């Protein structure tokens, strides 16, 4: 016995309608992959160059740019609500503070 009452969703939107689906073109994925590949090559290249103390800052900068590429495209942070992006920003700032404090402590040895 199948009634129309059983099929009702009682006012709740189906999961596929609750958030709009963002379509990302293949060219965007290919460009992102090429960017990640280029930054990986830059990391390997800079690892072979003696930059002194700047090597750590250079490697962390390249890694940060790579993580932003991944966050924006593959994790769809670009399409999330503003408050979610603020939370991610707070986490990144906290991480930068901890890394900076570690480097200041390490610099005195």
3-state secondary structure 5-23: HHHCCCCCCCHHHHCCCCC
Residue 14, token pair as written in the block? 């189906």
Is 40 part of any domain? yes
Domains held by the chain: number = 1
Query: How far is 50 from 46, CA to CA, in rounded Å?
Result: 8
Is 13 part of any domain? no
Is 78 part of any domain? yes
Does residue 8 register a pLDDT over 70? no
Residue 56, token pair as written in the block? 């750590």
Do 28 and 21 meet the contact criterion of CB atoms below 8 Å apart? Answer: no
Helix (H), strand (E) at residue 83:
helix 82-107
Do 75 and 88 meet the contact criterion of CB atoms below 8 Å apart? Answer: no
DSSP code of 108?
Answer: T
Does residue 16 register a pLDDT over 80? no
| pLDDT value of residue 20 | 65
Average pLDDT over residues 91-96: 89
Is 3 part of any domain? no
| pLDDT value of residue 78 | 73
Do 37 and 62 meet the contact criterion of CB atoms below 8 Å apart? Answer: no
Residue 84, token pair as written in the block? 């979610």
* pTM recorded for the entire structure: 0.63
Is 39 part of any domain? yes
Q: Give residue-wise pLDDT tens across range 71-93.
A: 888 777 777 788 888 888 898 89
User: At residue 59, what are phi and psi to the nearest 5 degrees?
Assistant: -65, -40
State which residues form the domain around 73: 23-107
């Amino acid at each position: 016995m199948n009634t129309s009452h059983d099929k009702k969703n009682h006012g709740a939107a189906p999961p596929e309608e609750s958030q709009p689906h963002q379509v990302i073109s293949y060219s965007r994925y290919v460009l992102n992959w090429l960017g990640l590949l280029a930054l990986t090559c830059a990391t390997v290249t800079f690892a072979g160059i003696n930059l002194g103390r700047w090597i750590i800052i250079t490697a962390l900068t390249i890694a940060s740019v790579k993580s932003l590429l991944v966050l924006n495209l593959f994790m769809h942070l670009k399409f999330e609500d503003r408050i979610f992006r603020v939370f991610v920003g707070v986490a990144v700032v906290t991480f930068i503070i901890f890394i900076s404090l570690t480097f200041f402590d390490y610099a005195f040895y």
